[in-house]
Amino acid sequence: MSYDVVVAGGSVAGLFCAREVAVSGHSVLVIEEDFEIGTPEHCGGLVSTSGLEELGIIPSGKTFDSPIVRAEVSAPGGKKITIDAKKQNISVINRREA
């Protein structure tokens, strides 16, 4: 069997990506290394709260530890870029509560 897209990882980001690919009319396969999706960890710890809402996932209030308002990316040569992340609606989550 063949697919248009293969997504490696069944985290929130992987599933969101797979859904968007499928909605666009492409065939997609999600592969996950663990026995079931979300085990032992639910995701990498950063999530788009608006993305969760689009997926129909409404976590409890205890799930969110703090919002991300900016990020700083540093290159090996010392150059730094600061990104305003308020519009992306990204939060750190407590994976034990998610």
The answer to whether 70 touches 47, Cβ cutoff 8 Å, is: no
The Cα 33–Cα 88 span in angstroms is 28
pLDDT of residue 11: 77
pLDDT of residue 21: 93
**pLDDT digit of tens for each residue in the chain (98 aa)?**
899 999 998 877 788 889 999 999 999 999 988 777 755 555 567 778 887 787 777 777 777 888 888 888 898 888 999 988 888 888 887 766 65
pLDDT of residue 50: 80
pLDDT of residue 53: 80
**Which residues make Cβ contacts (< 8 Å) with residue 27, sequence separation at least 6?**
2, 3, 4, 5
Both tokens of residue 23?
Answer: 């909605």
In the chain, domain spans: 1-40, 43-98
The Cα 26–Cα 42 span in angstroms is 26
